[in-house]
């Protein structure tokens, strides 16, 4: 059991690591279009600071994790030092219903690079309690870096890793923002959406590294506070930036980058045609194959369909992977799933405009119905997990 020593404000010290637990009132923005993918899941906002870009040679300095605290509002408090509302441009561009609530930011700071393991351990433990995290370029940097550094200490096998929703990847590949902005750095996108007046730190990641080296040499409190502020501001700003996904083709993005379903993460969606395969390319008949990882408590289960009418299901507990296939049918220029055969309990899919008499359209002509494809996958996997529980 860890013993924490109180320092000041919201700072605590334990085992070579400084721990911050700060709560503040905020307008919690989570777009409705994402809610259908993340409803009922524990979600956090995650950002890290490091001594460089390569996990082979550089160290983890600090991890910041923002989560909903569960209370409606802190009594007698505003929305943070800089205010937590949108500037008008950002509000006009992004905002929809915004219930007020309390956010909690936890920070795990390695007092020196020799105490990296302690900070990583607590950070990984906190992440493992979540189903998903929102990051900015976390697919290429934050998550691989944390996993690689954790592996050096044998921590990677101790904790589960949440699904990663990378806002940068979504707007880079599935929106038009790259055409209108000089770059897609987080601060550039923040400014475009009118969030310039909600950030209080004035340093960048490179300056954070220099400050950390100064902290290691001198242990100056004001230097520590600058590093922590830079990280916490990144987390707060990323929380405010989440509605940016409404500028992207979210359903197409989810089909390509994957999405969580309870304890699973869908990673691949593939349509096979006449023995040859191409990602998301549907021909006459064929089958849909979905694959992914089991993030928590992997199961072992196999169900094979001898006549090919219902499809196959495979859950591999040793590799923590899963896959399933379902047959497709061609009706004119429509490619459909026969739900009565593969998913008898499909009432919620009947509300789709592309549902008719037990059939769900997944492609019409050359147009893929990404929302319907994703909805079917979520419902199918949810039913499988319910049966295996």
* 48-53: average pLDDT: 95
Where do you find CATH 3.30.420.10 in the chain? 5-247
Q: What is the mean pLDDT of the chain?
A: 85
At residue 2, does pLDDT exceed 60?
Answer: no
Look up residue 363 and give its DSSP letter: E
pTM value surpassing 0.75: yes
Among 158-162, 283-287, 357-361, which stretch is predicted with the lowest mean pLDDT? 283-287
Q: Where are the beta strands (DSSP E) in 200-275?
A: 259-261, 264-273
* 3-class state of residue 229 by DSSP: helix
Q: 161-189, pLDDT tens digit by residue?
A: 999 999 999 999 999 999 999 999 998 99
Give the CATH fold of the 5-247 domain.
Nucleotidyltransferase; domain 5 (3.30.420)
CB atoms within 10 A of CB 47: 28
Cβ atoms of residues 312 and 281 within 8 Å = no
Q: Between 306 and 83, name the one with better pLDDT.
A: 306
Q: 299-327, pLDDT tens digit by residue?
A: 999 999 866 667 899 999 999 999 999 99
Local confidence band at 196 (pLDDT 50, 70, 90 cut-offs) = confident
At residue 286, does pLDDT exceed 60?
Answer: yes
Q: Which helix (H) or strand (E) holds 117?
A: helix 116-128
* 75-96: average pLDDT: 37
Tell me what pLDDT residue 343 has: 93
Task: Residue 354: name the closest of 372, 376, 339 by CA.
Answer: 372
Tell me what pLDDT residue 66 has: 94
Local confidence band at 42 (pLDDT 50, 70, 90 cut-offs) = very high
Q: Where are the beta strands (DSSP E) in 79-215?
A: 100-110, 132-135, 163-166
Q: Tell me how far apart the alpha carbons of residues 381 and 161 are, in angstroms, rounded to a whole number.
A: 19
């Amino acid at each position: 059991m860890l013993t924490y020593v109180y320092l000041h404000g919201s700072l605590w010290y334990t085992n070579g690591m400084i721990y911050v637990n700060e709560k503040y009132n905020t307008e919690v923005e989570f777009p409705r279009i994402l809610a259908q993918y993340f409803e009922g899941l524990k979600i956090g906002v995650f950002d890290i600071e490091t001594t460089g870009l390569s996990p082979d040679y550089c160290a983890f300095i600090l991890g910041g994790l923002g989560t909903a605290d569960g209370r409606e509002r802190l009594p007698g408090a505003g929305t943070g030092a800089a205010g937590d509302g949108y500037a008008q441009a950002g509000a006009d561009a992004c905002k929809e219903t915004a219930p007020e609530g309390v956010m909690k930011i936890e920070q795990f700071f390695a007092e020196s690079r020799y105490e990296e393991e302690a900070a990583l351990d607590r950070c990984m433990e906190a992440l493992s309690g979540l189903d998903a995290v929102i990051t900015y370029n976390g697919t290429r940097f934050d998550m691989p870096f944390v996993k690689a550094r954790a592996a050096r200490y044998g921590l990677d096998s101790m904790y589960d890793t949440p699904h990663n929703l990378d806002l940068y990847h979504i707007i880079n590949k599935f929106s038009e923002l790259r055409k209108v902005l000089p770059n897609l750095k987080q601060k550039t996108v923040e400014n475009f959406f009118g969030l310039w007046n909600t950030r209080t730190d004035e340093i960048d990641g490179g300056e954070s590294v220099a400050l950390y080296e100064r902290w290691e040499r001198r242990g100056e409190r004001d230097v520590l506070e600058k590093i922590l502020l830079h990280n916490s501001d990144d987390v707060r700003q990323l929380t405010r930036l989440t509605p940016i996904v409404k500028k992207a083709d979210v359903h197409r993005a989810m089909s390509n980058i994957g999405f969580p379903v309870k304890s699973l993460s869908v990673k691949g969606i593939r349509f096979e045609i006449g023995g040859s395969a191409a990602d998301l390319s549907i021909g006459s008949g064929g089958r849909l194959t979905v694959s992914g990882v089991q993030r928590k408590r992997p199961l072992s289960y196999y169900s094979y369909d001898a006549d090919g009418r219902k499809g196959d299901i495979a859950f591999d507990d040793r590799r923590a992977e899963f896959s399933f296939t379902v047959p497709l049918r061609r009706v004119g220029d429509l490619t459909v799933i026969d739900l009565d055969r593969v998913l008898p309990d499909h009432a919620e899919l009947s509300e789709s405009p592309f549902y008719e008499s037990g059939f769900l359209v997944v492609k019409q002509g050359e147009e893929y119905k990404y929302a319907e494809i994703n909805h079917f996958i979520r419902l199918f996997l949810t039913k499988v997990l319910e049966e295996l529980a």
